[in-house]
Amino acid sequence: MNEGDPKAVAEILHELSTTSHVQVRSSTELAVQVTKAAAEEDEKRTGDGRGLLRRRTDYRAVRSAPRSLTLTPWQVIHAIGLGAASARQGAGRGLAEHWGSLRYVQALEANRGRYLQLSAEGRDLLRFYKATQSSEIGTGFASLLAEDIVRSRYPDHSVSVIPADVALKAGWTLTGAGKGRRPEPLQRRPHFFVEAWQPGQPSKVLLLASKGTHSSTHQVHKQLSTASAHVESVHIGPYGTVPYLLIGTEIPAREPLALHALEKRGMALLQTPGEQPGADLDLVLEQDNRVPEVVRPTDRGETIVPGFQVLPDSYAWFSIVLARTEAATLTAFTGGGRPTAQYLTKEQGHRHFLHDTRTGTVQLRDAKHAIHGIDFVGTDHIYRLNGTRVEAFSGLERSLYEHLHYGRVNEYRREVHDLRGQWPDRSTSGQWSAVSIRADGTVLAIRLVQE
């Protein structure tokens, strides 16, 4: 079969919708090995004069961790794209970065035991941008595992995974401005906030630090020890009390993928002082300028260290930040532009989304498709896969899209929460070769373009 044969491409798209498994490993032994790796790194740092790295050390095996995740490669690509949608790198646009997830269309496949591993194409991609691939694939799997864990513990809640850097920028400046290198705790940050929420009720929040490697299990231990420093930089409530997940994705060249996970158990409750009603999520946020400092208890009282801290009198503000950052991510996934800009402050990238960026292949937010009988609004992207034209579509259920388009975050959350558990989980639909619909109402679908 020739490389450009349409049947070969159809086979690739079919593989994207095939259900497979990914191993999940969490144990006391893993925690011991991560602690050992942290001690080895600190010994090196002490030797070269850098000093000890501030870390969280209260991690344990994940309580009732699933033995595996069951999913399709297309669901992983959906998670990668959604995580990148509101990010911006230099002059890049969130939408362009979101579509970059399509580089992984041929990267994952199931082995004979139906466990996911890198395909031959994925191994070839690895040679060109190994670090980027391990980071992006690791982020996708980590967000899916974190959702699964939190949703199993709070089945009556909705669960959102929110890019931490985008959220933090609403209150703090994350990069220096010609004043020299910033302290390490300001450079190392968690990758996501995981929020379990119900409309009108205080949210439960934990931190998620994600890592990925193509190397050995020993490298996973080293990466998770570094991840423990990423979650140390952010504190919700008193110092060192916010729970977290550390998830490392091991991506061997020829063996099945594996997810390694540790946690600090619990959830931080964003309960505002007194009997105040729930935060108004439709409230437009102004850019805040908070000092990146954390109050740390010591034997002699308290000391101030670099970091990011949200205290109880700011819980209402932070609840709004999380909800509106999620809204920006969802609208960016559908096409960006002004619907996204309304949810972002200056530092979060408001002006970068004010103007739609159009190319010859992308018209923004003008695509409408009925998938599984549900109407979605979003953006489609036509490109060539092995010489064959393919269409990918990213969108949001129509009524949910309209709520966010017009700034109605409260209504979006009320409606999407009512819909939880009702979304179809079938991985194909009519002419669409692979479909992923998430609990947030977003869809990612792909199909051949009829010549």
Give residue 162's identity as a one-letter amino acid code. Answer: I
Confirm whether 1 is domain-assigned: no
What percent of the residues of the chain are helix, what percent strand, and what percent coil, each to the nearest 5? 35, 25, 40
pTM score, two decimals? 0.93
CA separation for the pair 435, 71 (Å, rounded): 12
Confirm whether 361 is domain-assigned: yes
Domain count for the chain:
1
CA separation for the pair 115, 109 (Å, rounded): 8
Confirm whether 307 is domain-assigned: yes
More confident residue, 445 or 98: 445
Confirm whether 129 is domain-assigned: yes
pLDDT, residue 277, reads 65
Q: Three-state SS for 144?
A: helix
Position 224 pLDDT exceeds 80: yes
Task: Share the mean pLDDT of the chain.
Answer: 90
Confirm whether 126 is domain-assigned: yes
Confirm whether 68 is domain-assigned: yes
Confirm whether 134 is domain-assigned: yes
State mean pLDDT over 304-308. Answer: 96
State mean pLDDT over 421-430. Answer: 91
Confirm whether 59 is domain-assigned: yes
Give the range of the structural domain holding residue 361, as residue numbers without chain letter. 6-448
* Chain centre to alpha carbon of residue 91: 21
Taking a C-beta distance cutoff of 8 angstroms, is the pair 79, 143 a contact? Answer: yes
